[in-house]
């Protein structure tokens, strides 16, 4: 009797819960983004304007995000894959068609940033942000640093350096120094690029994403890092400096994509359209210190960012930036060489 009663109450409570959930579902948006890759202010504004509550989860690499989405992580609406991952996800049929390319505000987007070969008309994703991967260094440890060769010279001289814990970025340095493409699938070229790193391995103290505090404290003289390092440079202009290496560098671009199984498709589209507004894109850049494909936004960005050649490089430097493509099966070559690098000491 009592048991029955409590079951009834539980059932009632459950239906009530489901009802409120349904009511609130209209008001939610769930982002799955790289760590520290969006200005929280943007999210606050969006919530103020639309009443939609935004939640944010973060990941550390494209592959991690893909693995989790594939393994069945659900509930996310929007993800921020790099261009090559955008292509992969299209092929895996993980993305929802949004027709963002035909939204009125899409005119703001510089067409050269619609890069994904699987999505030439931006029917799926919106170009979100871009940047380059260069070197951040401590000016008390080294006066002048202009490129990768300098970086390894510095390491040879006994100063410590840190490279990114990322097979493609780090082997990519080898490609750039060898003059081969960072997307090379030629086994000999990949091995040669990896050998550049192996040859300097002794002088590399770590592979890590968490190098900025160590550069700042002087424990490490220089580190391979993203353009976002400019945030820290701005805070400590006397100590830190960020450069795009003269030999060339890699660049990245992330697109904002809606997942096929997103629970809040409509809200996701709203967020994309919201982000098309120049003032919103500019607001994000102001804090992120990276590039935006939004042309009118560039006029609204504070001049110290807009005029910073390491963020918005001149055309000749820009032409030396290479962007990663999906290598398919050949990614294994890079992973193999990566393991070899890690065990070469």
Partner 1 sequence: MISSKTNVDRRRIMLLGLLVPPTLFLLVFFIVPLTIMVIYSWLEPGLYGGVVWNFYDLNYGRILGWADSRYEKFDPVYLAIFFKSVRLALTTVLICLFVCYPAAFWISKMSDTKKNLFLFLVTLPFFVSLIVRLFAWVLILRPTGFLNQALMGTGLISEPLQIIFTDTAVIIGMTYVFIPFMFLPLYASIEKLDMSLLESSSDLGATRLQTFRRVILPLTLPGIIGGSIIVFIPALGNFIVPSLLGGAKVLMIGNLIEQQFLSARNWPFGSALGMIVMAAILVLLVYYVKMMTREDRLARTPSIKEVQ
Which among 65-73, 109-117, 190-198, 308-316 is the span making contact with partner 1, rule CB under 8 A? 65-73
Residue number, 81 or 147, with CB nearest to partner 1: 81
Residues 29-48 that bind partner 1 (CB under 8 A): none
Residues 214-243 that bind partner 1 (CB under 8 A): 214, 217-219
| Residue 342 is a binding residue for partner 1 (CB under 8 A) | yes
Residues 268-287 that bind partner 1 (CB under 8 A): none
Q: Is 166 annotated to bind ligand?
A: yes
* Residues whose CB is less than 8 angstroms from the CB of residue 154 and which lie 6 or more positions away in sequence, other chains included: 142, 145, 161, 221, 222
Determine the Cα–Cα distance for residues 61 and 64; give it in Å rounded to an integer: 5
| Residue 125 is a binding residue for partner 1 (CB under 8 A) | no
DSSP reduced 3-state for 252 = strand
Residues 174-193 that bind partner 1 (CB under 8 A): 187
Residue pair 124/95 in contact (Cβ under 8 Å)? The answer is yes
Pick from 6, 91, 146, 319 the residue near partner 1 by CB under 8 A: 91
Residue number, 117 or 335, with CB nearest to partner 1: 335
Determine the Cα–Cα distance for residues 321 and 144; give it in Å rounded to an integer: 21
Determine the Cα–Cα distance for residues 273 and 300; give it in Å rounded to an integer: 18
| Residue 206 is a binding residue for partner 1 (CB under 8 A) | yes
Q: Which residue blocks in the chain are alpha helix, DSSP H? A: 2-25, 40-50, 62-70, 83-91, 148-156, 167-178, 187-200, 212-217, 230-235, 265-276, 278-288, 295-300, 303-306, 315-318, 331-342
Residue number, 210 or 304, with CB nearest to partner 1: 210
Q: Is 169 annotated to bind ligand?
A: yes
| Tokens found for residue 182 | 């960072």
User: By the criterion CB under 8 A, which residues form the site for partner 1?
Assistant: 60-61, 63-64, 66-67, 70, 88, 91-92, 160, 162, 165-167, 187, 204-208, 210, 214, 217-219, 328-329, 331-333, 335-336, 338-340, 342-343, 345
């Amino acid at each position: 009797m009592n048991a029955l009663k409590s079951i009834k109450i539980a059932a009632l409570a459950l239906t009530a819960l489901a009802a409120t959930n349904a009511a609130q579902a209209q008001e939610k948006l769930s982002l799955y983004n790289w760590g520290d890759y969006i200005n929280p202010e943007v999210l606050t504004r969006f919530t103020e304007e639309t009443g939609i509550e935004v939640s944010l989860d973060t990941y550390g690499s494209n592959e991690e995000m893909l693995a989790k989405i594939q393994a069945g992580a659900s509930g996310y609406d929007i993800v921020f894959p790099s261009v090559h991952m955008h292509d992969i996800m299209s092929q895996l049929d993980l993305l929802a068609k949004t027709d963002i390319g035909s939204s009125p505000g899409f005119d703001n987007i510089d067409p050269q940033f619609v890069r994904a070969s699987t999505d030439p008309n931006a029917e799926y994703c919106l170009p979100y942000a871009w940047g380059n991967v260069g070197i951040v260094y401590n000016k008390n440890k080294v006066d002048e640093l202009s490129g990768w060769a300098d970086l390894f010279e510095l390491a040879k001289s006994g100063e410590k350096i840190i490279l990114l814990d990322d097979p493609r970025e780090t082997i990519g340095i080898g490609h750039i120094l060898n003059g081969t493409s960072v997307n090379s699938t030629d086994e000999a070229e990949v091995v040669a690029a990896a050998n550049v790193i192996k040859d300097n391995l002794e002088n590399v103290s770590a592979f890590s994403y968490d190098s900025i505090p160590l550069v700042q404290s002087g424990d490490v003289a220089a580190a391979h890092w993203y353009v976002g390092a400019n945030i820290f440079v701005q805070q400590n202009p006397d100590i830190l400096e960020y450069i795009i290496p003269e030999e060339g560098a890699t660049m990245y671009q992330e697109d904002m994509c809606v997942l096929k199984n997103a629970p809040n498709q409509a809200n996701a589209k709203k967020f994309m359209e919201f982000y098309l507004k120049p003032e919103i894109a500019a607001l994000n850049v102001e804090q992120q210190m990276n590039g935006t494909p939004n042309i009118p936004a560039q006029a609204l960005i504070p001049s110290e960012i807009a005029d910073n050649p390491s963020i918005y490089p001149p055309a000749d430097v820009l032409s030396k930036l290479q962007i990663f493509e999906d290598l398919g099966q050949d990614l294994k070559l890079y992973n193999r060489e990566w393991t070899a690098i890690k065990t070469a000491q």
